[in-house]
Chain A
Amino acid sequence: MITHGTDKKQSSVLKSISKMTFLPAVTLFILFVILNIFITRRFLTSGFMIGFFTANAPLVLIAIGVSVVLIGGGIDISLGAITCLVNVVFISLVGNGWSFGSAAIVGLVIALVCGVINGIIVGFFRVPPLLATFATTSVFGGIALWIMPTPGGSAPMGLINWYNSLFLGLPAPIFIIVAALLIWVAIKYSPIRIWLYSMGRDEKKAYMSAVPVKWTQLFMYSFSGLLAGIGALCLTGSIGSGDPLAGLPLALSAIAACVIGGISLSGGKGSILGSVFGALFLGLVITTVLSAKINPFYQDFFSGVIILVGVIGATLLSRKFMNKA
């Protein structure tokens, strides 16, 4: 039909670049690494790296979880509340003499159950995901606050020590992130990947194509719930105690990380890799603001502004280069 005079080679290169939705996030990440080499003292030391990954692993994990939901055309803003809930349950159980292992398992089961609840409300009761997870945020967060009205308790020293150490020469949280990514890789080779991307693009069409829409929705919210649970254990290792509110901001930061990472909130587009770099970039923003000797009361403001600029940049970039098709 319509033939274009463009060089085929060039267009195929452009095409494959345009498929790399994670490029803006990776670029931002690298830029901020370079920036921090200059402004942050001891940036490239293992001590700093441990601190960095310890603090940011929860965000990375939750970003991985929420990515899957976003790709499938949903959204989950309850992950912060799930994180809080698992954190306080874990600390309470440990405080009551439970072993680390059994408390962790109970925590993960609770996280999974929370995800399943989200999945049922969205998948089977057809409540729009934003509203559904908005309501469950109030439910999960409420339970967390009920269990532990004020911060307290302490995590087992074993967890804190391992989590804040080098393991096989790398910061320990990296292994948890890699494990989560491996789960995703397994999913990628199953039909679920095709189901997720098709649903994200058009739920109704996917249903007509015999995609098990409800079950895939149940899966994706359960998956994100479980990752929030793992993130909560990391958060516990990082803050060393229970806090009914500490995890709440993670829900929104994770979504911002995904957007910067090239995942479209309208679904069906983007990659997990982008979200990981988006989350690491957000972590670097905080490092940068802390290093920049800004009036401490204005640090929140500046990190907010940098995130805003990052999201604007990512959005503009992806519109310019990714929507050629």
Chain B
Amino acid sequence: MKLTCENISKTFGNITALKNASLSVAEGEIRALLGGNGSGKSTIAKIIGGAVSPDTGAVKIRDKVIKTKSPSNTKKHGIVITSQELGLFTNLSVEENLCICQLPVTRGLFVNKKEIKKRAFEILKSLKLEHLLDKEISELAPNQQYMVEFAKALVQQPDILIIDEITSALYREDVEVVREIIHALKAKGCTVIFISHRMSEIYSICDTVTVMKNGEIVGTYKINEKNENELLSLMTGRDIKDSDLESENNSLVYENTKTILNIKDLVLPRFDSKINIEVKKGEIIGIAGLQGHGQSEFLKTVFGLQGGIRLEIDGTEKHITSPIKAVKSGLAFVSGDREKEGVFGERSVSENLTAVNNLVLKKTRVNEMKLLKDYGVVFGSTRQQITTLSGGNQQKVVIGRWTSSMPLVLLADDPTKGIDVQARRDIHKIFRDLADAGSAVMMVSSDDEELVELTKHTHLSRIIVMYEGNIVKTLMGKDITKENIIAYSMPKGGGNK
């Protein structure tokens, strides 16, 4: 076997990330790792890549135990890992970024700039991205940055390539290029471990799939051995049927429902756009579009994060100049970046939950126990530090911080990013309950399927598709399908360069 992991275990504090995980991948095999969050797939990838040290167990290449002491150590064995956490440096040029892992030197001392330029050009050319060479990293669109990240791995001529979810930010054309390259590497005998949440990619790219759950390996299968629902069942340990996703939709109700938030001629920074939309009471609006087309900026602008803005909220005109005003006017904002913008990591569950209610809005006391139980948060005591909870539970607490104060409109910016399927569904239910109670929810998601799933279950809902900072399409009722979202995300004549 080319790559073998034997009985690897790893705990972070009191959280077990991996339990006796064993894995072996053959030469030229493309293996998918599939699992919910906290299933341990990123951890095992990082252990192989040398970024995380295992508590027990060994990594072997061709049956020889190798040291995985550091990324530079594993790189010597041809292991290259490229991950969702972008490793690009905005203060370095594209070519320096591409070659930073192995800087060519002359006379053992000085950087060989010509060689860097040559290598960078060759690799970008193979990805059809040679026009990026003279750009700054900060000028690149998110998908281009991920492609450069991928190129950075390729420059190192990997023998074992681990791709940890970089494709979730890529366009279909990009994914196609990635697929071709991976297959070319496979032909050369390179072993690839491919981590993704997108089933379609896994089916089109991979040979085999290893399913993980709660830090353990559930099993390894040939890719055509199992269908999507079967894989999902293995991941979650529950039976998944298509009938779970039933639709009941009534667009007639729309006309007669009260407008809760009226946005007029909203201009997004960076875009030459005007957004008009009336948000109804009890409505859930999914915001779709390709990454970087203004969906996040839209919510942030409404929340007053990009300067002053006039909005009509619940019938009265409000001038929102800051999040403080936004919150006082009944808006709420949940960020997808829990660590940076969500949790108060050093503080308790209780303090995290009641921050808005007790300190900002001074509403009535929250029934903390009831709320946490209703949301299915797994916790020991409300006084325990929030970071001892799992990611999904942390995000539920952050959402509870807002829902407990009954905002008029909840703005959620990709709130389920990096959260497992179960917690994701719980969060959808929380949003639906909030809408049923008379609030409105506007949610951005980078996952089109998630938006379909969320809005399908809600009687008052629509999906707006954004392109270059404008709403290009509103989908309602039966029109809400993944195919439609994709189609309208890339209007004719537009799309990718």
Contacts and interface: CB of A to CB of B under 8 A. Distances in A.
A–B direct contact (CB < 8 Å): yes
B252 to A, nearest CB: 38
- Centre residue among A2, A197, A201 by max chain B CB count within 10 A: A2
B468 interface: yes
Interface in A186-227: 189-191, 193-194, 197-198, 200-202, 205-212
Interface string B237-248: 000000000000
A207 B71 contact: yes
Contacts of B88: 205
Interface in B79-95: 81, 83, 85-92
B387 interface: no
B46 to A, nearest CB: 9
A183 interface: no
A240 interface: no
Interface in B422-441: none
B96 A210 contact: no
Contacts of B85: 205
A1 B139 contact: no
B89 A210 contact: no
A269 B91 contact: yes
A209 B138 contact: no
A191 B152 CA distance: 17
B292 A1 contact: yes
Contacts of B90: 201, 325
Given A191-B103, A325-B136, A200 B110 contact: no
B89 A197 contact: yes
A34 B81 CA distance: 56
Nearest to B290: A1
Given A189-B111, A210-B101, A211-B100, A202 B271 contact: no
B271 A2 contact: yes
B270 interface: yes
Contact of A190 (B86, B91, B109): B109
A205 B89 CA distance: 8
Nearest to A197: B91
A202 B103 contact: no
14 contacts: A1-B141, A1-B292, A2-B270, A190-B109, A193-B111, A194-B103, A202-B89, A205-B85, A205-B88, A206-B89, A208-B83, A209-B100, A210-B70, A211-B100
B76 to A, nearest CB: 9
A268 B141 contact: no
B96 to A, nearest CB: 6
Q: Chain B interface: which size bin?
A: 35 or more
Contacts of A197: 89, 91-92
A208 B139 contact: no
B110 A190 contact: yes
Given A201-B90, A201-B91, A2 B105 contact: no
Nearest to A199: B89
A53 to B, nearest CB: 31
B111 A1 contact: no
B100 A194 contact: yes
A200 B152 CA distance: 20
A209 B87 contact: yes
B100 A190 contact: no
A1 to B, nearest CB: 5
A209 B87 CA distance: 7
B110 A189 contact: yes
Contacts of B224: none
B105 A210 contact: no
A296 B71 CA distance: 58
A42 to B, nearest CB: 43
B51 A268 contact: no
Given A197-B92, A201-B90, A212-B72, 16 more contacts: A2-B270, A2-B292, A189-B111, A190-B109, A190-B111, A194-B92, A197-B89, A208-B49, A208-B51, A209-B71, A209-B87, A209-B152, A210-B72, A268-B89, A268-B91, A325-B138
B276 interface: no
Nearest to A214: B70
A210 B497 contact: no
A15 B103 CA distance: 26
- Centre residue among A210, A211, A269 by max chain B CB count within 10 A: A210
B75 interface: yes
A248 B86 CA distance: 41
Question: Which 8 pairs between the two chains have the least Cβ-Cβ distance?
Answer: A210-B72, A325-B138, A191-B103, A189-B110, A210-B101, A1-B141, A205-B87, A198-B89
Contact of A208 (B71, B141, B292): B71
Contact of B92 (A2, A198, A208): A198
A1 B91 contact: no
B257 interface: no
Contacts of B86: 205
Contacts of A200: 91
Contacts of B141: 1-2
A241 B399 CA distance: 66
A1 B139 CA distance: 11
Contacts of A193: 111
B157 interface: no
A27 B270 CA distance: 31
A207 B87 CA distance: 10
A129 to B, nearest CB: 19
B136 A198 contact: no
Contacts of A268: 89, 91
Contacts of B105: 190-191
B296 to A, nearest CB: 14
B251 interface: no
Contacts of A212: 72
B102 interface: yes
Interface string A158-182: 0000000000000000000000000
A209 B49 CA distance: 11
